[in-house]
Amino acid sequence: MGVNGGGCCSLMVVLVFAVFITVCSAGRHSSISRNKLQLQRHLNRLNKPSQKTILSPDGDVIECVHISRQPAFDHPFLKNHTIQMRPNYHPEGLYDDSKVASKSKPKEKRQTVSQLWHHSGEKCPEGTIPVRRTKEEDVLRAKSIKTYGRKKHRSIAKPRSPDPDLVNESGHQHAIAYVEGDKYYGAKATINVWEPRIQQPNEFSLSQIWVLGGSFGQDLNSIEAGWQVSPDLYGDNNTRLFTYWTSDAYQATGCYNLLCSGFIQINSEIAMGASISPVSGYRGSQYDISILVWKDPKEGNWWMQFGNDYVMGYWPSFLFSYLADTASMIEWGGEVVNSEPDGQHTATQMGSGHFPEEGFGKASYFRNIQVVDESNNLKAPKDIGTFTEQSNCYDVQTGNNGDWGHYFYYGGPGRNDNCA
């Protein structure tokens, strides 16, 4: 009896253990299935039905999506929105980019920049916009579906600071020029394009314009546009055109490019987040792009233009609180993430990876920087300030001349003998 009783107990233990394993396994499979379902739903929200698919040499898939079916219209306030197909006003500037020659080589024709997916010669049909397809691996690189396509929320370091992301201890570092103290209705710059080296996949390097409004607290409004290299976001080291927006200091609103509802694209030729080609070379050919962001005084929407010919689209004014009126600060320049790998400063480069004093063909630049005034005119900014956390890592130097107007060189290599 004792032996049989022990056998029964052993059998019971085995059965209970088997049931436990089965339940745990079922729970794990259920969790995995739930996560896969959430991922697929998110991809379906981002990847709208397309009329045409174009394969890019860099592996991107460009979908030609009908303009009325783009991700912007997932926003509840845009359900019955009538697309504004052109701005009511366009700022007139001090400089015609198509006629501006190289500062150091006045007889050299300026180089043009396009996007890699154009190389096939295929175009999106009229009435559609090109959208970079989001792949499963793109989302899986993010910490979660919720954080994909968004900047990390950061605490506030100072109540008032030219630091665009408001915090020095976050590991984000900058080399920027800025203006404040007036009402600004937009900004423009021509930005030298490079392909900086990124040390860690979770780091990035970008060069952009910031159009900012608010108290520089939890309610910061920001519109951003330029170029970036971000392995985490795109899965490679290509230089890409990008935009970003937020109305609450990167907490819950906004995203890169078209990865959430908000920005309404009208252009059928340029894809947000797609690779820019070619890029500048050290002591070689120099390439740049112009970015213009301005407020339509009639409708109140904020518009973006890429180059001389491509009016990209607009951010509806209702997305913002302070920027529903005007901007209170404009910034131009570079930003990197310093994750301090191995306890040392990152070797991620900003701009060309060279310091400003090296000058044209070696250091990266912003030229013809301008602001938009209340009369919708582009004008030279006044009282330009500069800011960098560690000038031995990344620096900025401003200047002014007839061809380039207000300009600055910026950037650096990151880790070096003076930046550890």
Q: What are the tens digits of pLDDT across the range 121-147?
A: 999 999 999 999 999 999 999 988 888
Tally of domains in the chain: 1
pLDDT confidence band for 120 (50 / 70 / 90): confident
Copy the structure tokens of residue 231.
């392995």
**Assigned domain for 322 exists:** yes
pLDDT over 90 at 223, yes or no: yes
pLDDT for position 161: 53
Q: What percent of the chain has pLDDT over 90?
A: 75
Residue 268, pLDDT score:
97
Look at residue 37 and tell me whether its pLDDT is greater than 80.
yes
DSSP letter assigned to residue 16 = H
Note the pLDDT of residue 386.
97
Q: Is the pLDDT of residue 155 over 90?
A: no
Across the chain, what does the average pLDDT equal? 87
Chain segment 367-411, per-residue pLDDT in tens: 999 999 999 999 999 999 999 999 999 999 999 999 999 999 999
8 occurs within a structural domain = no
pLDDT for 151 equals: 85
User: 224 catalytic, yes or no?
Assistant: yes
| Residue-range definition of the domain harbouring residue 406 | 44-411
The answer as to whether 349 is a domain residue is yes
Burial group, residue 342, by CB count within 10 angstroms (0-12, 13-18, 19+): exposed
pLDDT at position 293 over 70: yes
Q: How far is CA 150 from CA 81, 217, 225, 254, in A?
A: 25, 18, 14, 7
pLDDT tens column, 182-198: 999 999 999 999 999 99
What per-residue confidence (pLDDT) applies to 34?
78
Closest by Cα among 322, 238, 311 to 278:
238
- The answer to whether residue 168 scores a pLDDT higher than 80 is no
Q: Which residue has the higher pLDDT, 72 or 1?
A: 72
Using a 10 angstrom Cβ sphere, with 0-12 exposed, 13-18 middle and 19 or more buried, the burial of residue 315 is: buried
Question: Which residue(s) pair with 61 in the sheet?
Answer: 55
Q: Is residue 186 part of a domain?
A: yes
CA distance 134 to 234: 9
What's the pLDDT at 341?
Answer: 85
Task: Count Cβ atoms below 10 Å from residue 237 Cβ, excluding itself.
Answer: 14
196 within some domain: yes
Residue 22 predicted with pLDDT over 60? no
- Residue pair 214/328 in contact (Cβ under 8 Å)? The answer is yes
Backbone phi, psi, residue 119, to 5°: -65, -25
Instruction: Characterize the bridge pairing of strands 288-295 and 276-277.
Output: unpaired
What does DSSP assign to residue 153?
P
At 108, the pLDDT band (50, 70, 90 cuts) reads very low
Q: What pLDDT is stored for residue 23 in this prediction? A: 47
Strand ranges for 285-379 from DSSP E: 288-295, 302-306, 310-315, 327-337, 364-372, 378-379
pTM of full prediction above 0.95 = no
Catalytic: which of 63, 195, 203, 224? 224
Structure tokens at 327: 């901007």
- pLDDT(107) > 50: no
| Residue 9 within a domain | no
The predicted pLDDT at position 159 comes to 33
Task: Indicate whether 55 pLDDT > 70.
Answer: yes
Higher pLDDT, 304 or 103: 304
Average of per-residue pLDDT across 15-41: 65
Weakest-pLDDT range from 46-60, 79-93, 343-357, 370-384: 79-93
One of 335, 340, 357, 389 is an active-site residue; which one? 335
416 domain-assigned:
no
5 pLDDT above the threshold of 60: no
Rounded CA separation 48/72 (Å): 11
Q: Which of 70-79, 113-122, 146-155, 386-395 has the highest mean pLDDT?
A: 386-395
Q: Of 30-34, 224-228, 402-406, give the lowest mean pLDDT range.
A: 30-34
pLDDT greater than 70 at residue 13: no
Let me know if residue 266 belongs to a domain.
Answer: yes
User: What is residue 92's predicted lDDT score, i.e. its pLDDT?
Assistant: 83
